[in-house]
Chains A and B, each alone.
Chain A
Amino acid sequence: AQKITQTQPGMFVQEKEAVTLDCTYDTSDPSYGLFWYKQPSSGEMIFLIYQGSYDQQNATEGRYSLNFQKARKSANLVISASQLGDSAMYFCAMRPDSGGYQKVTFGTGTKLQVIP
């Protein structure tokens, strides 16, 4: 079974500063995908970034980057130059490759608040 742990229920960051949201995962599958989603108060889950377990480089998408440490089973999201619009819940998720069509497992989320 897969498990995602997000240990930070809530975080504050000053506008224009960088922030790291932690995510650790547990799986016995050698191949898997890791995802981060943003959920504003409106409710819609917005896909941010993807990292494959065999990717050699850390994924980046604009101001989002993923600090992937496979040996530690961590996939932390880094948001650079925080903006007020970044205030939202952030979810880490994983889907393994093996064993057929496996479901996506989500963490409990981190609530990020950006302070002006």
Chain B
Amino acid sequence: KAGVTQTPRYLIKTRGQQVTLSCSPISGHRSVSWYQQTPGQGLQFLFEYFSETQRNKGNFPGRFSGRQFSNSRSEMNVSTLELGDSALYLCASSAGTGLGKETQYFGPGTRLLVL
């Protein structure tokens, strides 16, 4: 079974631009969660999508948005990029039951650098 894929793997943008990151979950998984990881703030939860609906949301400004398609693929968008948005963005895929025993499987991440 193929794992979680994320594209692109690396991205360089300038302040003020916008960026779209893509995540394809493991086949059969219906939940996709996004995380931002920085050296200073650690791993922070952005949002979770299940069946094309946002099910959970972290404490990020409205510049961060996401969506999920009918095939469970998900995209996240960051508008008006700031230097502080430079981070590793991780996508995690899970079955979608929301139960405590449900394991999340992560993709390789997208490294975003904002200049």
Contacts and interface: CB of A to CB of B under 8 A. Distances in A.
Contact of A44 (B43, B50, B104, B106): B106
A33 B101 contact: yes
Nearest to A55: B101
Contacts of A50: 101, 103
Interface in A1-50: 29, 31-33, 35, 37, 42-47, 50
Contacts of B45: 103-105
B101 A109 contact: no
Interface in B57-115: 58, 88, 90, 92, 98-109, 111
A45 B48 contact: no
Interface string A39-66: 0001111110010110000000000000
Nearest to A45: B106
18 contacts: A29-B100, A32-B100, A33-B99, A33-B102, A35-B103, A42-B108, A43-B88, A50-B103, A52-B100, A52-B101, A53-B100, A97-B99, A101-B48, A101-B50, A101-B98, A103-B56, A104-B33, A108-B42
